[in-house]
Amino acid sequence: MKVDAASELLPTEVLKPTATVHIANDFSFVERKMINAIMADFQLHDLQAGEHDLSLPQLCSQINYSSRNREPLKEALETLVTTAVKWNIFERDKVVEWGVCTFLASAKIIRGGIVRYRVNEQIASWIRNPMLFAKFYLLIQTRFSKKHSLILYEFFVDELSRRRTLEAQLAPVSIKELRVLLGIGKDQYEEFKIFNRAVLKPAIEEINVSTDIEVDQALQRKSRRVSAVVFSLKRKLAYQPPLPIDIPVGEGRESGAGERVLLRNSSLSEQQQSALNRLVDQGVARKRAIMLVEAYDHAYIQRKIDQVEKELAAGKRLHNLGGYLASAIVDDYQQEVIQAGKGSKPGAGKQNKPGREASKVQARSYERLQHEWEKLRRERAKAAFSALSEQEQEAYRQNYIQAGGLSGAREALFTEGGGWNNPIILHNFAEEYLVKHLLSKPEELSLEAYAKAQRHEMADAGQ
């Protein structure tokens, strides 16, 4: 199958069969992402058994691989061809039997920047038409920094997809099952507290911040030892899907060598897209640039870019232009630096450097800031609710029910899962209703106001 660059489709979602989510093998982070990218391409084009071509730049964008060194990619493809995988280890998919085989039958990188692959015939049919599967945005995997985050995310999405629900409390997952799923060796993280601190908590935090799922965990004990984990899951209804990163254009594409294609994001306005393109041109990483244009007014971003360009024209030297510009937008200190550079003595603008450096160290990404803000709102709403009388609390509960807060699957969860004591019910009640009726402070009502308050706190800390 030949790649046609002019009409090439970029897969946005992957339907990952349950049997391929529940696998036992210590694949690397790159290898796991590569499996998803190849699987999405295979499904998108409804391919049959045999050799198929995938654009190498496209593959790199989908696994967030920006190095020009192809050796790690070759090694990853070799692993997928030579390493046996145990599929469907928990036997949740009753149609697909437990089995062992490699993911790819063959793979090679050919001239023109093309990856030619052949999916193993043993699994090709149920990858193409899965009966049970985890459905997720392919590019979510580019937001992870750890492979354990990706593995757990796929596991959680699979649970929600098979249940066809937006939220669920899973049956207890034993520590032994978790270790097998995550590819943890017998001699690694033997004590649960170390396993929890080094693997589980960081992965869950990354999932909460970077994906469309919010996760809570509760521990189950047997003879005072942790024996299992109970996960509570909820889809984020207002989640913004991730966008394709820049694809380096070279071999195998019609554009000139070294040119970069800025993929259009239909969810951005023309003004936002213009700001995004300027940020990327100045060296801001695309994922960070997207978060900036979603978080800040496009005119404000354009002013900051203009200010930094004026500084450069005046002779300022920067080792990391993209990082400096992003910090200038987030911390809003650039205007003072420019003013200090007009008619002032050399070095006058350096007086604010300690405060700026403190702000840089503490600067949060937009996604993390939003997650913290939402958590703050829920906690304050719950605190305000607890301070009400019993009669007032009951009135709020009844109004929530009348507004449809416990309709559909939630009604069964409420009835069978402990009523108002169910953590999912409480979470929804606080997030969907209490925050709208019990909060009044500016930083509680506006993310922008919260961000400004955080910047003031950082500035005070840096003084």
Is pLDDT of 238 > 50? Answer: yes
Tell me: the pLDDT tens digits for 394-426? 888 888 888 777 876 677 667 776 788 876 777
Identify the pLDDT of residue 264: 46
* Token pair of 238 as six digits: 């207002």
Structural domain total, the chain: 3
Q: Is residue 259 part of a domain?
A: no
Is pLDDT of 353 > 80? Answer: no
**The domain boundary residue, chosen from 362, 379, 407:** 362
Q: Do 424 and 354 fall into the same domain?
A: no
**The domain boundary residue, chosen from 338, 362, 386:** 362
SS3 category, 114? strand
Q: Is residue 310 part of a domain?
A: yes
30-34, 314-318, 457-461: least confident range: 457-461
Is pLDDT of 126 > 60? Answer: yes
Band of pLDDT at residue 232, cut at 50, 70 and 90: very high
Closest of 360, 353, 316, 319 to residue 336, by C-alpha: 353
**What sign for the dihedral angle of Cα 194, 195, 199, 205?**
negative
Cα angle at 320 between 141 and 267, to 5 degrees?
A: 40
Q: Is residue 318 part of a domain?
A: yes
Dist CA 460 CA 380 (whole Å): 23
Is pLDDT of 108 > 60? Answer: yes
Is pLDDT of 218 > 80? Answer: yes
Identify the pLDDT of residue 268: 66
| Region 24-36 average pLDDT | 86
Question: Are the C-beta atoms of residues 113 and 253 closer than 8 Å to each other?
Answer: yes
Closest of 247, 329, 332, 337 to residue 288, by C-alpha: 329
Q: Do 273 and 376 fall into the same domain?
A: no
Dist CA 264 CA 277 (whole Å): 10
Q: Do 213 and 346 fall into the same domain?
A: no
Tell me: the pLDDT tens digits for 190-200? 899 999 999 99
Residues 6+ apart with CB under 8 A from 224: none
Q: Do 29 and 121 fall into the same domain?
A: yes
One DSSP character per residue, 5-68 reads: TTTPPPP-EEEEEHHHHS-B----HHHHHHHHHHHHHHHHTT--SSEEEEEHHHHHHHTT---S
**What sign for the dihedral angle of Cα 31, 33, 34, 35?**
positive
Side chain identity at residue 329, one-letter code = I
Q: Do 87 and 203 fall into the same domain?
A: yes
Q: Which of 105-109, 275-279, 304-308, 440-444 has the highest mean pLDDT?
A: 105-109
Question: Are the C-beta atoms of residues 72 and 37 closer than 8 Å to each other?
Answer: no
Q: What percent of the chain has pLDDT over 90?
A: 18
Would the pTM count as exceeding 0.75? Answer: no
| Region 64-92 average pLDDT | 84
Q: Is residue 440 part of a domain?
A: yes
Q: Do 335 and 407 fall into the same domain?
A: no
Q: Is residue 181 part of a domain?
A: yes
| Region 336-355 average pLDDT | 42
Identify the pLDDT of residue 337: 40
Q: Do 374 and 346 fall into the same domain?
A: no
Give the structural domain span for 230.
13-235
Dist CA 287 CA 268 (whole Å): 14
Q: Is residue 4 part of a domain?
A: no
Name which residue leads in pLDDT, 115 or 264.
Answer: 115
* Token pair of 338 as six digits: 């420019």
Q: Is residue 256 part of a domain?
A: no
Closest of 155, 172, 262 to residue 226, by C-alpha: 172
Q: Which of 9-18, 39-48, 347-356 has the highest mean pLDDT?
A: 39-48
**What sign for the dihedral angle of Cα 370, 458, 437, 421?**
positive
**The domain boundary residue, chosen from 362, 390, 417:** 362
Identify the pLDDT of residue 34: 94
Band of pLDDT at residue 115, cut at 50, 70 and 90: very high
Identify the pLDDT of residue 224: 86
Dist CA 450 CA 375 (whole Å): 12
If 0-12 CB within 10 Å is exposed, 13-18 middle and 19+ buried, where does residue 36 land?
Answer: buried
Q: Do 371 and 320 fall into the same domain?
A: no
Strand runs (DSSP E) across 242-335, as ranges?
A: 247-248, 260-261
Tell me: the pLDDT tens digits for 10-27? 457 888 888 777 777 678
Is pLDDT of 215 > 80? Answer: yes
Dist CA 352 CA 354 (whole Å): 6
Average pLDDT of the chain, as a whole number:
76
| Region 306-313 average pLDDT | 83
Q: Do 375 and 356 fall into the same domain?
A: no
| Region 72-79 average pLDDT | 92
Ramachandran category for residue 189: left, alpha or beta (phi over 0 → left; psi -120 to 50 → alpha): left
Identify the pLDDT of residue 7: 32
Q: Do 53 and 195 fall into the same domain?
A: yes
